[in-house]
Amino acid sequence: MVSHSVQTIPTQRQKYRLSIGRAPVVMAVLGVITGALTAAVVIAFRLLYESAQHGLLPGGQLGDYEGLPAWQRLLLPIAGAAVIGLYMRHIAHRDPRTGIGFVIERTAYHEALLPLRNAIHQFVTAALAIASGHSVGREGPSVHLGATTGSQIGQRLGLPHNSLRTLVACGTAAAIGASFNTPLAGVAFAMEVVVMEYTIAGFLPVIIAGVTATALAHLVFGAGIVFTIPALSIQGLHELPLVMGLGLLLGGLAAAFIRTLRHSSRWLGHWPVVPRALVGGLVVGLIGLAYPQVMGIGYDTIAATFAGELGVALLVGLAGAKLLATAAIIGLGVPGGLIGPTLVMGAAAGGAVGLLAESLIPLPLGGPALYALLGMGAMMGATLRAPLAALTAMLELTANPGIIMPGMLAIAAATLSAREVFWTDSVYHLELGERGLDPRQNPLLQAASRLGILQLVNPRCEQLPVLADTTEWVLAAPDEGALPDRACRIDTLRAHQQAGQPPFADAVALLPIDEKASLRDAFERLRGAGDAALLVTRPASGGAREWTGIVTRQAIHDAYLD
């Protein structure tokens, strides 16, 4: 996902400034690089599945699965699921996890170190899923690809791990911008969903990355907005109760989708991947016989809803069919995004509410297209718990500033409804919570992830002798501030203790840690380690490692806990 041509290694001083979040120029340059490389990856991903659709669909029309004969609508997703299942069984079996939930977990719990192989599998399998008509979106896979691009750039340059978090956010924003043509929504999504924080230092490179990627995508796909619709706005304050009611309804729909998705995942989760994928493909194919509009990403269905081409009964059926098809195919293990499907469900439900309201309420209303747009934002915000990203996406996808106020109300009502009335969490955090993970539960550790340990290193231990084969050390010193004068391997110390001959007084265990580590990693290493300190190392010539200094508990306490 990242070119080997990126070889400019930051100096030690630049790494120090990066570790404390005070290298804005370096991060801005890295934002440009991440945005450009993410754009290249996302453009390649989009061209791949669009080329396949041109060859598979009638007249080469993107998204026109409705034009396929019934037997092809049934067999295409099954065949695609079979190929994806075989790929995951024989090629991706060691690195099967993909998607935004995986990105959030790696960012929160693994120093934002995203493996390259998982992203390659995401690229291949998501393109296959979209091309074969599965009810999945392109935005989730794009986020995984962009986040991995940013993480890989940081890893290749040997940057402090706290900087990788910002580069993951850069890649996320760039991916959303390049995929959706929504750079501002990309920035909001990266901050709200992936890194779950707003900082000035983090904002600037993320904005730059989003702009860079969107500009490059314009060169390939054009600068037009995704949905061209007339200016929309409410016709008076009398519509606000209806807007709120729509939000409450969409919150319930979002809760139903999240629960169906999780039940689908647990239902056949113990099955091997190939039969699971085949069942998912069969479900999509059968639903596609009655509602072919559920197949593929579905932006053409949203456009038809805005244009008033679909009736109430069809819209209601589409909302339910899209929910079941998406929950089945993603829940049963086919890699794909769910942002696009939530937009389709929201537009269909909102359009149906708008049509019904127009026929029943003898007052001027904004029209079905307005309520379809509000439904999109409400469904996205409630499902992802990303209200600001949903609002900005509504604005950027349609260039309709008139939806800001009613959009805010609809999204707020939907989010509160899903959370407080139907008791559901974000679709991503619910998945993590089922495995005992929730990065929101410890804000102190999340804050510690933003800082590196270089500023806390005491370099005076560089005078200690270097023994290349050691991994655990004991520092013998009467106090932490004194220059250590001797060290030994901890297994040597234990041998002496077992023999009743402890060689050192006031010995302190030294646990090795890389200089790229974040403060959070330092906390984790010292947890339960008694009086241990950290021995900070970095790569040296010939594959060896050299010491740069030590970090003690007292140094961390004095810097951050006083």
d(CA 74, CA 69): 9
In the prediction, which pLDDT does 365 show? 93
H/E segment holding residue 532: none
Tens of each residue's pLDDT in the chain, 562 residues: 544 444 456 677 787 788 877 888 999 999 999 999 999 999 999 999 999 999 999 988 888 999 999 999 999 999 999 999 999 999 998 888 999 999 999 998 899 999 999 999 999 999 999 999 999 999 999 999 999 999 999 999 989 998 999 999 999 999 999 998 999 999 999 999 998 877 766 789 999 999 999 999 999 998 888 888 888 899 999 999 999 999 999 999 999 999 999 999 888 878 899 999 999 999 999 999 999 999 999 999 999 999 999 999 999 999 999 999 999 999 998 888 999 999 999 999 999 999 999 999 999 999 999 999 999 999 999 999 999 999 999 999 998 888 999 999 999 999 999 999 999 989 998 888 888 787 777 777 777 788 888 888 876 543 334 343 444 445 544 343 333 444 444 444 444 445 544 444 445 667 888 889 988 888 888 887 766 778 788 887 777 777 777 787 877 777 666 5
**Got the DSSP string for 70-100?**
HHHHHHHHHHHHHHHHHHHHHTSTTS---SH
First-residue to last-residue Cα distance in the chain: 42
3-state secondary structure of 445: helix
- The CA distance from 81 to 75, in Å, is 10
DSSP letter for 2, please.
-
The confidence score (pLDDT) of residue 539 equals: 81
Q: How far apart are CA 143 and CA 186, in angstroms?
A: 9
The SS3 call for residue 36 is helix
Q: What is the pLDDT of residue 423?
A: 92
- Residue 537's DSSP bridge partners are 514, 547
Do the beta carbons of residue 131 and residue 334 sit within 8 Å? no
Question: Element (H or E) spanning 312, and its range?
Answer: helix 312-331
pLDDT tens figures, 94-151: 888 999 999 999 998 899 999 999 999 999 999 999 999 999 999 999 999 999 999 9
Domain 237-444, classified CATH 1.10.3080.10, yes or no: yes
Domain 237-444 shares a fold with domain 453-561: no
- Among the listed residues 152, 161, 86, the one whose alpha carbon sits nearest the alpha carbon of residue 118: 152
Topology (CATH level 3) of domain 453-561 = CBS-domain (3.10.580)
pLDDT value at position 507? Answer: 53
Q: What pLDDT score was predicted for residue 3?
A: 44
Cα(281)–Cα(289) distance, rounded to whole angstroms? Answer: 12
480, 533 Cβ separation under 8 angstroms? yes
R_g of the chain computed on alpha carbons: 26
Q: Where are the chain's structural domains?
A: 12-228, 237-444, 453-561
Bridge partners (DSSP) listed for residue 467: none
Q: For the domain covering 12-228, report its CATH number.
A: 1.10.3080.10
Task: State phi, psi for 111 to the nearest 5 degrees.
Answer: 55, 25
